[in-house]
Amino acid sequence: MTQEVEIRKSVCVWCKGECGVLVHVKDGKLVKVEEDPEWGRKVWPPTRACVRLQAAKEYFYHPDRLNYPLKRIGDRGEGRWQRIPWDQALDEIAQKLKEIKEVYGPEAIAYSMGTGYRTDPLQLFRFFTILGTPNAIKQGHICFFPRSQVANAIAGWFPHYSVRSATKCIVAFGAEPLIARPITSKSIFDARERGAKLIVIDPRHTRSASIADVWLQLRPGTDVALLMGMVNVIINEELYDKEFVEKWCYGFDELKARAEEYSPEKVETITQVPADKIREAARLYAINRPGAWIEGMGVEHLQQSIQALHARWILAGLTANIDIEGGDEFAGPHPKILEYGEVGPRVVLTSEQAKKQLGADRFRFFTFEASQLIAQNSEKVWGKVSSAYFIAIASHAPMVLRAMLTGKPYPIKALFEFAANPMVTQANTKLVYKALRSLDLHVTTELFMTPTAELADYVLPAACWLERPILWDFCGYSSYMVAGEAALPTVIPGEYEHKTDYEIWRELAIRLGQGEYFPWKSLEEVYDACLEPSGYTHKEYVDKVRCELKPPKYKKYEEVGFATPTGKVELYSTVFEKLGYDPLPRYQEPAETLISDPELAKEYPLILITGGRVREFYHSEWRQIDSVRKLRPDPIVQIHPETARELGISNGDWVWIETVRGRVRQKAELFDGIAPNIVHAEHGWWLPELPGEEPWLHGVWEVNINVVLNDDPEVCNELSGGWPLKTALCKVYKVKKY
Ligand code: SF4
């Protein structure tokens, strides 16, 4: 039967744009997706210009899209698959889970999660908590948890992630918002037009750097020293807000003593940023108030990520830039949305199981213990706990992978992936590969076959955002909330059979005898329950509200204090102290630099940094979509022209990037916005067009920069365990024709 075209209101979550879109549907089929002109948040470049959105139909109906459950029938990695019915897949998986749980305990089952809004992190947490495992491995260690959890620990909440009209100074810290954050980029352009200053901290001359007032081109990995140098200037020149510091900051005297170690001249020797430029940046930030920070993954990829973010919050505290209009604004929890733990039957991991979280004895910042320590202050001040405190609980992925291989401290026998592709996105790919091959049960939910899925036992076809309802309140920080309806059916008989991740967890839970913990039949019912205090169902919320920007209320601390143990901004962190760490930032040279390892540097004289974002792709996604891929067909490594000349490399040459751990190849781009002894390689690369079976694994060994990076716990951040992606020693040389 042919119907009229219907228009469904949805939210694209293919990247952090979270753009409101209108999905045109006829007979259950996608006709087109277009920008919703009434959407309340504008992005730059505009939604209508987005190459990914323009490829929506190509993506959804791609011939390689996974449409039915697959079961491995050959050896692992052999590429031989059998299509099986959903019931069979879920029955078999449930049975294997039962067996593993019985023999090895629930902690032997691990799960891996990628970007939060691609799946549903809270229901995911519910499922595995009921199962009894503490072992989540997430990309959060290098993406968002450091930002989120340091803000919670030091200042009691995470800020609105945009720039407001009152903002007079913006600091982009290890971030390239003009590429990676379409919402923020629009607000930065608007602020610049109003005369706001811009400071960019980045070893590369990014687009943001090109429009900045001050670009601090630091040596990779020296961020803590740089920011402590700014702290030194602000204290010694008395540019800080004395009244705010006295009333609302904890540990000023201790900070002052620590900051004495970081004179601009000394910091110059560490960071290679001229002392006068450090002074200029410190003055610019301290004088032009209010100032807001935009931090990015560039900071989170550092060996000293947590300390660097602590120093960033110290600067915000000294200048009273917190919880004021145009500064680091705090929305607080949404009063009419239920957070994790407030919806449905209560599920809690026993303390005995929580103690088994791998890595928790050494890296204590993303643990159940730390989360509780931080969350209790939130409850005191905000009256509830943001879901973010639960999302930021994760085992240490490198240790979980090692446990898969060694059985120590106990065996890990099963792994589930949701919106995750660790063969591409986890450092030390060779170890990841061996670990995945050692499993008794490996299940992936995916949209397309990936190098990781090729090593699975079951590959379950996931629904994408076009097929599922969306309700996203920024991990519970609630400065905004967006919602969209499921625009397309998850199943069209004879064409495809997708499931939302939620349906998979619920159906497995029922098979495992735990169905009472999932009373909602669909994800939409879950969202109805979350929205109950608002008086809307999810459908009504989509129809009537859809994109909500919470009206700000400033200086709430004057009534309730900050949600930290001392009720103040903790320049000196009592949380870090209680967890057994240095309560103040102190610079340490990363493990693998020209200074810390001069012997290695003789053979590998260049500094490798990775992870800069590009507009076409979202981390490891989109390489198989032709219309997008043709805009960026090859992985690019940026090399300074002088270095390239010395090495006989021309623009467009394929080059090997080699570290002590191996080599991969990318295409050289001569780029003078980087120091001559630094190269920058793109992350997230694999080649879907190459065969999936071993040894190919879609080119993962050829171009994936994580093959040459280190995840050894010895070089990870001492608080969080985050692995360094920004400081490795390498050499680069031309690929010989073969
Ligand atoms: S891919 Fe990102 S920028 Fe493009 S429409 Fe979707 S959310 Fe917006």
Measured distance CA(681)–CA(700) in Å, rounded? 15
Residue 620 has pLDDT above 60, yes or no: yes
Q: Specify whether 351 is located in the same domain as 316.
A: no
Domain annotation covers residue 141: no
pLDDT tens across 165-199, in order?
899 999 999 999 999 989 899 899 999 999 999 99
pLDDT tens across 629-642, in order?
999 999 999 999 99
Measured distance CA(319)–CA(296) in Å, rounded? 21
What's the 238 CA to ligand 1 centre distance in angstroms? 44
Nearest ligand 1 atom to the CA of 50 is 4
Tell me the two tokens of residue 114: 């990628």
Nearest ligand 1 atom to the CA of 35 is 5
Measured distance CA(261)–CA(603) in Å, rounded? 33
Q: Specify whether 116 is located in the same domain as 191.
A: no
What is the tally of helices (H) and strands (E) in the chain? 30, 27
What's the 12 CA to ligand 1 centre distance in angstroms? 6
Tell me the two tokens of residue 290: 């209010």
Domain enclosing residue 730, as ranges: 598-734
Q: Is 15 a pocket residue for ligand 1 (Cβ < 6 Å)?
A: yes
pLDDT tens across 43-60, in order?
999 999 999 999 999 999
Sign of CA dihedral 124, 624, 426, 103: positive
Q: Specify whether 360 is located in the same domain as 504.
A: yes
Q: Specify whether 401 is located in the same domain as 434.
A: yes
Residue 447 has pLDDT above 80, yes or no: yes
DSSP-based three-state secondary structure for 328: strand
Domain annotation covers residue 123: yes
Residue 514 has pLDDT above 60, yes or no: yes
Q: Specify whether 48 is located in the same domain as 78.
A: no
Measured distance CA(140)–CA(393) in Å, rounded? 9
Q: Is 333 a pocket residue for ligand 1 (Cβ < 6 Å)?
A: no
Per-residue pLDDT, 615? 92
Domain annotation covers residue 560: no
Domain annotation covers residue 523: yes
124 closest CA partner among 527, 416, 524? 416
pLDDT tens across 24-34, in order?
999 999 999 99
Q: Is 14 a pocket residue for ligand 1 (Cβ < 6 Å)?
A: yes
| DSSP string over 151-209 | HHHHHSS---SS--TT--EEEEES--HHHH-HHHHHHHHHHHHTT-EEEEE-SS--HHH
Domain annotation covers residue 688: yes
Domain boundary among 272, 294, 329: 329
Nearest ligand 1 atom to the CA of 53 is 5
Residues 448, 688 contacting (CB under 8 angstroms): yes
* Identity of the amino acid at 187: S
pLDDT class for 334, splitting at 50, 70, 90?
A: confident
What H or E segment, with its residue span, contains residue 376? helix 368-382
Domain boundary among 301, 329, 357: 329
Three-point CA angle 71, 76, 80, nearest 5°: 50
Q: Which residues contact 595 (CB under 8 A, 6 or more apart)?
A: 589
318 closest CA partner among 240, 256, 260? 240
Residues 644, 668 contacting (CB under 8 angstroms): yes
Tell me the two tokens of residue 70: 């697959």
Please list the residues that pair with 491 across neighbouring strands.
497
Q: Specify whether 472 is located in the same domain as 517.
A: yes
Counting the structural domains of the chain, the total is 4
For residues 320-329, give the mean pLDDT: 95
119 closest CA partner among 432, 471, 425, 521? 471
Q: Is 19 a pocket residue for ligand 1 (Cβ < 6 Å)?
A: yes
Measured distance CA(524)–CA(536) in Å, rounded? 12
Residue 282, exposed/middle/buried by CB under 10 A (0-12, 13-18, 19+)? buried
Measured distance CA(563)–CA(568) in Å, rounded? 8
pLDDT tens across 412-438, in order?
999 999 999 999 999 999 999 999 999
For residues 625-629, give the mean pLDDT: 98
Per-residue pLDDT, 193? 94
Q: Specify whether 44 is located in the same domain as 89.
A: no
Residue 353 has pLDDT above 60, yes or no: yes
Q: Specify whether 380 is located in the same domain as 316.
A: no
Q: Specify whether 505 is located in the same domain as 610.
A: no
Residue 162 has pLDDT above 90, yes or no: no
Q: Specify whether 85 is located in the same domain as 180.
A: no
What's the 24 CA to ligand 1 centre distance in angstroms? 17
Tell me the two tokens of residue 482: 């967006």
Nearest ligand 1 atom to the CA of 182 is 3
Share the mean pLDDT of the chain: 95
Residues 732, 639 contacting (CB under 8 angstroms): yes
Residue 137 has pLDDT above 80, yes or no: yes
pLDDT tens across 283-309, in order?
999 999 999 999 999 999 999 999 999
Q: Specify whether 118 is located in the same domain as 168.
A: no
Residue 341 has pLDDT above 90, yes or no: no
What's the 628 CA to ligand 1 centre distance in angstroms? 13
Per-residue pLDDT, 2? 60
Q: Specify whether 403 is located in the same domain as 524.
A: yes
Residues in the chain: 738
Domain annotation covers residue 310: yes
Domain annotation covers residue 189: yes
Q: Which residues contact 87 (CB under 8 A, 6 or more apart)?
A: none
Q: Is 18 a pocket residue for ligand 1 (Cβ < 6 Å)?
A: yes
Per-residue pLDDT, 549? 84
Locus of tokens 């995911």:
124
Locus of tokens 């004057």:
558
Nearest ligand 1 atom to the CA of 14 is 1
Pocket test for ligand 1, best of 19, 117, 179, 617 (most atoms within 8 A of CB): 19
Residue 1 has pLDDT above 70, yes or no: no
Q: Is 52 a pocket residue for ligand 1 (Cβ < 6 Å)?
A: yes
Domain annotation covers residue 174: yes
What's 252's domain CATH number?
3.40.228.10
